[in-house]
Amino acid sequence: MSTPVPIKLRTYIGYGMTDLFSSGAFSIIAAWLMYFFTNFSGLTPIQAGSILFIAKIIDTFVSPCVGYLTDNIGNTRLGRRFGRRRIFLLLGAVLVYVYSLLWIPGMPYLYYLVVYLSIEIIGALVIIPWETLASEMTDDYKQRSILSAVRLFYGGFSTWLATFLPGRLFAHFGTSDSKVFFINAVIFSVIFMVALLVTWSTTWERKQESTADAPKARSFSIKHIFTDMASTLRVRCFRQHLTMYVLSFTSLDLFYTVFIYFIIYSLNSTSVMASNLLAVGIFLTGWSNALMAWMVIRYGQTWSLRICLTVSMLCFFVFSGFYFWKPLLMLPIMYVTSLIYQFFKGGYVYIIWNIYPFIPDVDELVTRQRREGVFAGVMTLARKSTSALAGMLIGIVLQAVHFDATSSTQSITTIHGITALFFFGNVILLLLSTIIAFRFKLSKENHQIVKNEIARLKNGGSLSDTAPETKAVLHTLTGLPHEKLWPEK
């Protein structure tokens, strides 16, 4: 692939802005929604957890359809006229106001379920096509790394804003004022709309094949969707990447959801303090993203990923240690630990997303197709399925340890349960992800070998003429016998 238009600064800046929605909306949900449901909307922990579970499980069937749609709509008259990716950004900009409707207190259970399901579907319609744009615009390792770094900048900023702004509103209106959440949601809805429009206006898509060469559009078929999805798992490096993604991002869900409870009840502090500890990440905005991008370009994404996962895991030993040991300088140590965690957490989030655009290149060797949308759909399905389970399990655990949202104090059993969930859940998830990271081999050098081999085969080279050392790399990444690669059209 050649880059049809040079990637300029405005494109880097514009591309990343959609992560204000992708990260910001769901960071607010992860950090505050369970707390909002149990403390301001009169729902039990199990009811709150079930909303997250049911909506995300339904959405797991929607996300693959979106991935399939965005890959195949380009072969239709509509897709050839409006594109197969960016058109969904415009649709999302129109619908994103629904987000603010979720944060109206005192509504019935069914209302929250329907609105939250709508938000998940809107998110899929926007995020899945948007995630393919880095692969659409360039195949250059450095350019993709910079695009991911800019995305991380916006993601880190929106995550900080998602935790900082509610704390300031609580400080102004009081910690018991429910309208804080609705005001916060309205502000963010406007930000999300502007971000989607900017990304739409500054990005482009891969030039599509001419009408004569393009494959015929397949009719919509559930069988095709799930057959395509299942076929992605043939690729070894994608199986590894998907597992790391699910484990480490589920840890994020667990951290943001339980951290509020841990600070308020286990450490006997306030929601303002919890917000401040999460918002300390503002000090990382900008320079940390540049540093992480430099690490990836200079030392490679696999080495950097291992470091980030390991340090993030160790931070939970420090966090949980505050429950048993109250040092003299506990408050500054907590801020420093939160700062370190958010730096390296942001690192593994960036690297895992930086890896994603390179996976379809490996898949092209296996299928001779460009299937960015299918891979994005599989990742979204897996992510939302496990996120749904995590939300439901958190609600079950809180109910099992007798959490009482109407009381300002909790029993010792409840406090022990919150602390154990916070520590063991995160450590186990990050430990498993770290083990896989040490086996992951899609490095900068190996990706270049993949690109070179694809170019050679496209230029008429024979699969049987592949060099032995190249064969070894391709087998490590695909997990398939060499004769199964580059099938006949």
- Given this model, what pLDDT does residue 147 score? 86
Biggest alpha carbon–alpha carbon distance for the chain:
74
Calculate the alpha carbon distances from 288 to 150, 256, 285, 479 in Å. Answer: 11, 21, 6, 35
CA distance 489 to 84: 23
Q: What is the 3-state secondary structure (H, E, C) of the chain?
A: CCCCCCCCHHHHHHHHCCHHHHCHHHHHHHHHHHHHHHHHCCCCHHHHHHHHHHHHHHHHHHHHHHHHHHHHHHHCHHHHHHCCCCHHHHHHHHHCCHHHHCCCCCCCHHHHHHHHHHHHHHHHHHHHHHHCHHHHHCCCHHHHHHHHHHHHHHHHHHHHHHHHHHHHHHHHHCCCCCHHHHHHHHHHHHHHHHHHHHHHHHCCCCCCCCCCCCCCCCCCCHHHHHHHHHHHCCCHHHHHHHHHHHHHHHHHHHHHHHHHHHHHHHCCCCHHHHHHHHHHHHHHCCHHHHHHHHHHHHHCHHHHHHHHHHHHHHHHHHHHHHHHCCCCCHHHHHHHHHHHHHHHHHHHHHHHHHHHHHHHHHHHHHHCCCCHHHHHHHHHHHHHHHHHHHHHHHHHHHHHCCCCCCCCCCCHHHHHHHHHHHHHHHHHHHHHHHHHHCCCCCCHHHHHHHHHHHHHHHCCCCHHHCCHHHHHHHHHHHCCCHHHCCCCC
- Given this model, what pLDDT does residue 4 score? 47
Residue type, 309: L
Q: Which of 261, 22, 334 is nearest to 157 (CA)?
A: 22
Q: Which of 415, 418, 410 is nearest to 394 (CA)?
A: 418
CA distance 244 to 254: 15
All domains of the chain in start order, with CATH: 7-150+157-205 (1.20.1250.20)
**Size (the chain), residues:** 489
Angle at Cα 477 formed by Cα 60 and Cα 2, nearest 5°?
A: 85
- Given this model, what pLDDT does residue 209 score? 53
Calculate the alpha carbon distances from 477 to 148, 241, 471 in Å. Answer: 22, 11, 10
- Given this model, what pLDDT does residue 406 score? 77
- Given this model, what pLDDT does residue 285 score? 59
Q: Which of 184, 192, 178, 191 is nearest to 164 (CA)?
A: 184
Q: Which of 416, 119, 152 is nearest to 265 (CA)?
A: 416
- Given this model, what pLDDT does residue 3 score? 45
pTM comes to: 0.73
One digit per residue, the tens of pLDDT, for the chain of length 489 reads: 444 467 888 999 999 999 999 888 888 887 788 889 988 888 988 898 899 888 878 877 787 788 778 877 777 777 777 777 888 899 999 899 999 999 999 899 999 999 999 998 999 899 888 988 888 888 787 888 788 888 878 877 887 788 788 878 888 887 777 788 999 999 999 999 999 999 999 998 877 554 444 445 455 567 777 788 889 999 999 999 999 999 999 998 899 889 989 999 999 988 888 888 887 866 675 667 678 878 888 888 899 999 999 999 999 999 999 998 887 788 899 999 999 998 899 889 889 988 988 899 999 999 998 888 788 778 877 887 787 788 788 888 988 999 987 787 899 999 999 999 999 999 999 999 999 999 999 998 999 999 999 999 999 999 999 999 999 999 999 999 999 999 987
Q: Which of 339, 363, 352, 360 is nearest to 285 (CA)?
A: 339
The encoded tokens of residue 109 equal 């259970």
- For residues 452-465, one letter each, b for 16 or more C-beta atoms within 10 angstroms of the residue's C-beta and e for the rest, the string is ebbebbeeeeebee
The encoded tokens of residue 259 equal 């951290």
CB 334 within 8 A of CB 322: yes
